[in-house]
């Protein structure tokens, strides 16, 4: 996957649900294609397969479970994701936290199912800690900023330390940054500070014109490279 | 929904995953249509929407979450199910148990999203207890028989008491029965003992010829009515 | 245990912790003895044994776990409670909710360990549902009133329906009421409306003079009988 | 606390419950005192305070919760432990796993309550990951060996790598080792391989003569130093 990456988390926002979710994913695809910038989407869990069948850009699951396929009613099975060409999965989002051992098991299952893993962490030390488990990427999101109007990039020192922490944990794990990242210049700042990707949600999903917002971000990224 | 109902839970069996899940749901649809018997399916969570778009028979989700739509990354949103014509949801399966209050909240959300609710219970008293919360149906499944080779119907007294317990809890809630139900005569026995539906899984999903198994069950049900 | 019962939940309030917890339990014992009224205490989990060794009034645990004794590091073992003469346990408090099946298992373990069970429920239907599992008592506490300044007894119809619901579920289960119950006349109202006990917390534990508050309640109860 | 440390986890074994728990802790105290070797105990949660009041050796809690004191019925409050002179707490034992963020929060609360923290981890990478969060100690215990008859020290390379991993994570965090450690020569091997402490349970608690077992271990440790 070409870097840097803009990863849009649809959460369970009604604006990104069902048919509106497909439109949103297609908007991301348009922008990605027009500006040759890598935009990935993490649709609502129930929409994941549907959207993976409708777009060419990378699709991530919002979560996977670790129980062995079979007697696991109501669990999210990594191998199904692979069958439909899903690229990866978020893990341990602050809204869907899991045990430390489960994180390690999920990374292992995801590797077996050929899925990339992006593990979320709320602090600098947690970012380094999960990076040691060798996921594809770690996204540092201070929980107090998630969903709010203050971008994590207004605290450049935190972003730099997070990037360093992830790289210290494992030099091959990509440092992502998130929380309050809503505008093109936030994305720009994150990349300038060393992040290889940004994790965003409401800034795009709840925008009156998500394609416009993503376009602005893509133009900035184009310049960055 | 016409009674009685055969509800096939695909769990996360590889045999019911992805494309094989669609084939299995279509087989259920064929049998349902040919014998005018009501067969419903509960596909793997990730396949739910896909299958709901591919068959006309009732589709159930294996689980729903109760957090309000929005900041709920990795949760199962009831309203998405409704958008794609999903008929209902399982709740509190022994492999995906939830708090008592969450059961009550989920029933309330499901009603709002126009989804039927089938709540699982492992004992006679639990069956009556959850029936009081007025779900659409309660499925009594002794946990020690789930996935095994002994059908709950070999204990007719338990089935009768479960049917009674559900009806005592709420006369409008449908009594279902499950655990080890794999053959046509198990289905027959369950209905003769007063159940309005059966919940099955491996007996169909892992059968070498699932359509044949469902056909045998449908023929029996045809006679019952 | 003589009825009605005032059960004081110490939660983890600093005012009821450690040595202050022992003083609080002794104050309850004084009032109970002087007015021949039944006051029971549910101290902080870690203080439970200590307090059970220091007072003669009934002591309840705030929770028990259900894993078999042995490989259960960090779990609350019912049999230890019995060894020190603890009388019973709360279950499913809104601040410590458990799965429905776990409630049933905990009631069964508590019976085996000769502990009374008081199961908490947040609504009228939940109160009836848990009563069917035949605990010693069910305490209905509307979650929106817990810890607040509005007593559940200001809604007499809710109290009456809760009492009825518990009795319908199982005539031998005692109906308790709680949430916002802080003053003697709240206790009076609850008992007049049919409750056999009240569950209270901050109204006593955080009072500037807990013994005075309990004395006022005891005087009222004395009159009630 | 003088190194190395033998930390005996009583789990919820009936042999270490209530009065037998006090006797066991006193046996540990005798051995510790006679051989000037550091033996610490982690009694059953409910017995923690009682035992802390009866012995002079370090006592650890088996778990703490992280909810702020107050509205936390049924939770384990770190500040109560401190009031009774408890020395520290286990965290994330494989039988009581917690979310990664909860581990970080618990370490922070424990520091505030002046409790040492020993975090359990099941693999080499997890050991390094939790060490980054700067607990007092990390105990590596391969889950497949816990409670079994094969000592982790029969795999010297794993012990060495675990010690290295903990030290790499944070040079000030003490590396402990556990799982199947039941005999004096297991303890010897662990210390020779670089561990600063061992975590044991059934080998002592379920021994016909726990004081004898601990004495053998103490004699070995005496020689080691």
Q: Which residue has the tokens 């900035």?
A: A220
D61 vs A169, C74, D51, CA distance in Å? 30, 8, 11
- Distance, CA of B93 to CA of B140 (rounded, Å): 10
What is the per-residue pLDDT for B182?
A: 92
In this complex, the residue of A101, A104, A129 whose CB is nearest that of residue D133 is A129
A132–D94 CB contact, under 8 Å: no
- Distance, CA of C186 to CA of C178 (rounded, Å): 10
What is the per-residue pLDDT for C2?
A: 84
Q: Average the pLDDT over C99-114 and give the result.
A: 97
C70–D9 CB contact, under 8 Å: no
Q: Which residue has the tokens 């939660």?
A: C11
Beta strands in chain D, from DSSP E residues, in sequence order: 5-9, 38-42, 60-61, 88-91, 116-121, 137-140, 174-178, 197-200
Chains that touch D (3 or more CB pairs under 8 A): A, C
- What pLDDT tens digit does each residue of chain D (225 aa) get? 788 999 999 999 999 999 999 999 999 999 999 999 999 999 999 999 999 999 999 999 999 999 999 999 999 999 999 999 999 999 999 999 999 999 999 999 999 999 999 999 999 999 999 999 999 999 999 988 888 889 999 999 999 999 999 999 999 999 999 999 999 999 999 999 999 999 999 999 999 999 999 999 999 887 765
Is residue B47 within 8 A of residue A69, CB to CB? The reply is: no
Instruction: Give the mean pLDDT of chain C.
Output: 95
Distance from CA of B48 to the nearest CA of A (A): 7
Instruction: Identify the architecture of domain A5-224 in CATH.
Output: Alpha-Beta Barrel (3.20)
pLDDT tens digits for A147-166? Answer: 888 999 999 999 999 999 99
Q: Does D98 touch chain A (CB under 8 A)?
A: yes
pLDDT tens digits for D178-206? Answer: 999 999 999 999 999 999 999 999 999 99
Instruction: Give the mean pLDDT of chain A.
Output: 95
D206, HSE (Cβ side, Cα atoms, 13 Å):
17
Does the pLDDT value for residue A87 go beyond 70?
yes
**Residues of chain A contacting residue B146, judged by C-beta atoms under 8 Å apart:** 71
What is the per-residue pLDDT for D100?
A: 93
pLDDT tens digits for B136-191? Answer: 999 999 988 888 889 999 999 999 999 999 999 999 999 999 999 999 999 999 99
C104–B94 CB contact, under 8 Å: no
What is the per-residue pLDDT for B143?
A: 86
- Classify residue C64 by its DSSP letter: -
Does the pLDDT value for residue C132 go beyond 90?
yes
What is the per-residue pLDDT for B225?
A: 54
- Distance, CA of D92 to CA of D114 (rounded, Å): 19
Catalytic residue from among A29, A68, A93, A144: A93
What is the per-residue pLDDT for C144?
A: 85
**Residues of chain B contacting residue C170, judged by C-beta atoms under 8 Å apart:** none
Distance from CA of D143 to the nearest CA of A (A): 11
- Distance, CA of A129 to CA of D130 (rounded, Å): 6
Q: Which residues of C132-151 are buried (b: 16+ CB within 10 A; e: fewer)?
A: bbbbbbbbbbbeebbbeeeb
Q: Give the pair of three-digit tokens for residue A58.
A: 């990378």
Q: Average the pLDDT over C80-106 and give the result.
A: 96
| Of residues A183, A206, A224, A144, the one with CA closest to residue A14 | A206
In this complex, the residue of B92, B94, B133 whose CB is nearest that of residue C129 is B133
Does the pLDDT value for residue A100 go beyond 80?
yes
Of B127-136, C181-190, D111-120, the least confident: C181-190
Distance from CA of D36 to the nearest CA of C (A): 28
**Residues written for chain D:** 225
Using CA atoms of A160, A163, A165, A166 in order, give the dihedral in degrees to the nearest 10.
170
pLDDT tens digits for C58-88? Answer: 999 999 999 999 999 999 999 999 999 999 9
- Distance, CA of A98 to CA of D136 (rounded, Å): 23
- Distance, CA of A182 to CA of A185 (rounded, Å): 9
Does the pLDDT value for residue A91 go beyond 80?
yes
Does the pLDDT value for residue A222 go beyond 80?
no
Q: Does B148 touch chain A (CB under 8 A)?
A: no
In this complex, the residue of B73, B83, B84 whose CB is nearest that of residue A9 is B73
Q: Average the pLDDT over A76-93 and give the result.
A: 97
pLDDT tens digits for B43-99? Answer: 999 999 999 999 999 999 999 999 999 999 999 999 999 999 999 999 999 999 999
In this complex, the residue of B94, B104, B125 whose CB is nearest that of residue C125 is B104
Domain ranges of chain A: 5-224
- Distance, CA of D8 to CA of D18 (rounded, Å): 16
> At a CB cut-off of 8 Å and minimum separation 6, what does A62 contact?
A9, A10, A11, A42, A43, A44, A45, A48, A89, A90, A93, A96, B73, B74
In this complex, the residue of B13, B80, B147 whose CB is nearest that of residue A17 is B80
Distance from CA of C133 to the nearest CA of B (A): 6
**Residues of chain C contacting residue D75, judged by C-beta atoms under 8 Å apart:** 12, 45, 95-96
B82 vs B47, B52, C49, CA distance in Å? 15, 10, 51
Chains that touch C (3 or more CB pairs under 8 A): B, D
Q: Does D122 touch chain A (CB under 8 A)?
A: yes
- Distance, CA of D115 to CA of C158 (rounded, Å): 45
Q: Would you tell me which residues 165-194 of chain D have a C-beta closer than 8 angstroms to some C-beta of chain A?
A: 169
A83 is catalytic: no
Is residue D61 within 8 A of residue D25, CB to CB? The reply is: no
A129–D97 CB contact, under 8 Å: no
Q: Would you tell me which residues 100-119 of chain A have a C-beta closer than 8 angstroms to some C-beta of chain D?
A: 100-104
Does the pLDDT value for residue A101 go beyond 70?
yes
**Residues of chain A contacting residue B73, judged by C-beta atoms under 8 Å apart:** 9, 11-12, 42, 62-63, 90, 93-96, 201
B83–A11 CB contact, under 8 Å: no
B100–C126 CB contact, under 8 Å: yes
Q: Does A67 touch chain B (CB under 8 A)?
A: yes
Chains that touch B (3 or more CB pairs under 8 A): A, C
B128–C132 CB contact, under 8 Å: yes
D57, HSE (Cβ side, Cα atoms, 13 Å):
27
ipTM of this predicted structure: 0.95
pLDDT tens digits for A103-146? Answer: 999 999 999 999 999 999 999 999 999 999 999 999 999 988 88
Distance from CA of A137 to the nearest CA of D (A): 15
In this complex, the residue of A101, A125, A130 whose CB is nearest that of residue D97 is A101
- The answer to whether B and C touch (≥3 CB pairs < 8 Å) is yes
- Kindly write down the DSSP assignment for every residue of B17-55, as one continuous string: SHHHHHHHHHHHHHHHHHHT-EEEEE--GGGHHHHHTT-
What is the per-residue pLDDT for A224?
A: 61
């Amino acid at each position: 996957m070409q870097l840097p990456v803009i990863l849009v988390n649809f959460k369970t926002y009604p604006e990104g649900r069902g048919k509106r979710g497909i439109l949103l994913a297609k908007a991301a695809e348009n922008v990605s294609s027009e500006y040759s910038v890598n935009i990935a989407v993490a649709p609502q869990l129930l929409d994941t397969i549907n959207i993976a069948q409708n777009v060419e850009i990378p699709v991530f699951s919002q979560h996977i479970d670790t129980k062995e396929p079979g007697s696991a009613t109501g669990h999210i099975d990594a191998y199904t994701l692979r069958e439909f060409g899903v690229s990866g999965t978020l893990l341990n989002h602050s809204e869907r936290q899991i045990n430390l051992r489960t994180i390690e098991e999920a990374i292992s299952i995801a590797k077996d199912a050929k899925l990339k893993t992006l593990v979320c962490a709320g602090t600098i030390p947690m970012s380094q800690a999960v990076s040691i488990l060798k996921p594809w990427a770690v996204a540092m999101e201070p929980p107090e900023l998630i969903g709010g109007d203050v971008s994590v990039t207004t605290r450049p020192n935190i972003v730099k330390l997070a990037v360093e922490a992830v790289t210290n944990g494992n030099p091959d794990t990509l440092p992502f940054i998130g929380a309050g990242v809503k505008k093109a210049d936030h994305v720009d700042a994150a990349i300038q500070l060393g992040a290889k990707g940004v994790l965003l949600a409401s800034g795009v999903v709840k925008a009156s014109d998500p394609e416009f917002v993503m376009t602005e971000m893509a133009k900035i990224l184009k310049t960055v490279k």
